[in-house]
Structure 1
């Protein structure tokens, strides 16, 4: 290990490697292509930065020359994650002279980024902005030796597959590619075949398994106001050091942030529609503990590494069940423990079931004294295939306890069925005597009469609309017809 790099590692308080670092660092130093899957908060950023910086420092000492392009290229899916990786690299290079780190992301002026790219040894970039600079010949990629694709699954979610392939083609001379992803899904393996050469596969934990030092709490909420009262309980909790509140939409994020700020709380909010300069400024304020609460959308679900986050509060469940693990992974970092609180309403039951299938365990209900839900507690059984009844089928996606949970919202008890009641839902009703199938018989054309015209002003009986004098039906060319949705509809009895 280079002396300057070892001093920086000691200064950051890293005394022993994490499991993923123990597996990745030796293989990366050996020059192998890697495909790594590890849980969030496991130290994977240092797992690829430390060996790559070690090799770069050694090569720069052997041949002191100004680079014409970056030797190390790190691709990140979001601006926040790219900035976080860049900050970590700068911390590891504090004792090293002559090495430069540049960050290339969208939403910021080109001028400063172009200036930072001059002589940069390591570039951390989002694919879109990097490709723009490459196509306008503002950056060279033919000097890249090591390329890292961080959060590859998130890259595909954001539609960067073609951009990644274009960047890989522009840096085809590289010697090593490291890919990090939350899963080994088929689409990830297909991408790995195009970007890597015979990669070594390293899987540290079960897919989407949350860290054991996170205490997960599920609170049932009757309605919106009940959910807000549950949030207010944690806002007044003295055990909260710093916390992230995940909102469901950008509108809810902004409204909640402004409301809590008006109440005198130390709050800032963050979502994808904000300018990048504003997002960076607010994130820095949160990292420096100048604010206690951060209200955010899923833009902060990955890449936010603040060790002092003690609580994560989910006001709503994420659209993708895998993002639940990334959300709660913002707490319990750097060897600390944390609390993850999730508020669930009736409409969230299907999402909750999907999350439990992904993490392969049940999330237990928790009740705050004085804020007990009026609905019945959610009692869920193990997820097993339900046997179908011969006459009546069970509602899809719900088990017995969930149906009880839904029934509690209905007004009043169910009425008992009368004696002798018989289920005739599957029995066809008999036709009346003398019935004849005339579906294939042509109906005679109705003859327009004066009487028909005189009765055309009566209600047609369609969707509750009455045909008043002067209406469109009154002006229709044929009596006994009405106009609806631009079509003529016969109103014969």
Structure 2
């Protein structure tokens, strides 16, 4: 590992880093920052929570500290692409923190927000643009932003951008930047699709491969086999009585399910809120701020919260619905055990989740410990064959038929165990 003062950063940047309480760089920072400062293209593979944001923000700020030309209206020098609004906000916050002793203009261009403020920000000189691909292309089509001055392009969580179907958008955006730009690509996973993208966009890149073990030693993982939705609700209520659970993110498969579960938890007296893609950005920001300030104990979220959100006080992650993709499991549980703290990840597994569980354990290379709490024993076993498709009936709730629990006379009545529905894959959909 290196100290930040070994990188010969601009005094204002180094001072800001120290003011944030950092002196020693993480392994990904020690590898990536010197190469980026030397102007090399980089492909960096690292798990979430390893400090990769600073690995490109600090070189970007250093680059701007040496600029000789004046900043121009709507023509950024640095472009950072992210897959989600939440990640864009996190990156922008890092820019503000590390660049607070410099004169740096940083704006965010993301979907789900009003055009007015974003158009106004583009009418002023700008250094760094942090954007999601869809909104950026929209503003390019409106001729409100010009990428001809971009000399550093950063693709943050490039694997997630491809998973969300943004490959064409990323290629179009990159084609509008100069050929001699520097390109930094950061990803948690690596596959053939990403390799093809990197081959097109990067020139003789330096490859940085950090620890690839998908899970973390400081996260205790365990699962509970559950019979149905009613069993899940009873078990969740029991787990939330644990005093060691200070804050938790509870993952739901659907947006409707997240809203309904958050409503139920609030009715039970918990400080809980939902977080998903149908919420307005202001509401999402307010929810995250309340979580960071300790006003909320429980955050019921879809996978929109699995990446890019850094909540260091989360003691538990609860997979109310098991994710359909092993990579999503890794990113979900990575929301706990942050900054060296211990964390707990608990998964509820239905009998027909066996195939998804097998994929997760094969991907992580370890078996998740099975736990049984007296009084909450399952009566069904995991199915080992592909479950048959069942006809959809009624409203979805976290992967099953949602008949309850319903409020009746001030109390919730549990649903009949046979009222269930398999939730299909949400791959490629915006949530």
| Shared fold per TM-score greater than 0.5 | yes
1:285 aligned to 2:290?
yes
Check 1:95–1:369 CA distance in 2 against 1; reply closer, same or farther (3 A cut): farther
Determine helix, strand or coil for the equivalent of 1:20: helix
Do residues 85 (structure 1) and 91 (structure 2) align? yes
Is 1:270 aligned to residue 278 of structure 2? no
| Contact preservation (8 Å) 1:71, 1:122 | yes
Q: 1:361 offset after TM fit, Å?
A: 1.6
TM-score (norm 2): 0.84
Quick check: 2:351–2:380 contact (8 Å CA) kept in 1?
A: no
1:38 paired residue among 43, 46, 54: 46
Contact kept in structure 1, 2:80 and 2:154, CA below 8 Å: yes
Distance apart, 1:290 and its partner CA = 2.1
CA distance in 2, matches of 1:132, 1:94: 30
CA offsets 1:161-199 (integer angstroms, 9 cap, x no match) = 111111111103452101112222011000011111111
Q: Deviations over 1:327-386 (max 9, x none)?
A: 00111112212111111110111100011111122111122343333446x7x9xxxxxx
Specify every segment of 5 or more residues in structure 1 that has no aligned partner in the other structure, as ranges. Answer: 381-394, 399-493
Give the Cα–Cα distance (whole angstroms) in 1 for the partners of residues 198 and 96 of structure 2: 28
SS in 1 for 2:253: coil
The number of residue pairs the alignment matches comes to 377
Displacement after TM superposition at 1:64 (Å): 6.2
Residue 53 (structure 1) shift: 1.2
Cα RMSD for the two superposed structures: 1.8
Measured in 1, the distance between the counterparts of 2:219 and 2:267 equals 31
**Hey, what does 1:10 align to over in structure 2?**
18
Query: Which one of the candidate residues 144, 152, 169 is aligned to 2:150?
Result: 144
Asked whether 1:54 is paired with 2:62, we answer: yes
2:423 maps to which residue? none
Dislocated runs of 4+, deviation >4 Å: 395-398
Distance 1:254 1:227 in 2: 16
Residue matched to 1:386: none
Matched, 1:193 2:199: yes
CA contact (8 A) 1:147 1:174 kept: no
For 1:177-326, list aligned pairs within 5 A.
177-206=183-212, 209-326=214-331
Specify the SS of the correspondent of 1:103: strand
State the match for 1:464 in structure 2. Answer: none
Q: Does 1:157 align with 2:152?
A: no
* Distance in 1, Cα, partners of 2:29 & 2:374: 43
Unaligned 5+ residue runs, structure 2? 1-8, 388-431
| Greater relative contact order structure (CA < 8 Å, 6+ sep) | 2
What does residue 393 of structure 2 align with?
none
Decide whether the 8 Å contact of 1:142 with 1:173 is kept in 2: no
Quick one: distance in 2 between partners of 1:65 and 1:350? 57
Q: Tell me, in whole angstroms, the C-alpha distance in 2 between the residues paired with 1:233 and 1:122.
A: 47
1:311: Cα distance to partner? 0.8
Q: Does the 8 Å CA contact 2:290/2:296 hold for their aligned counterparts?
A: yes
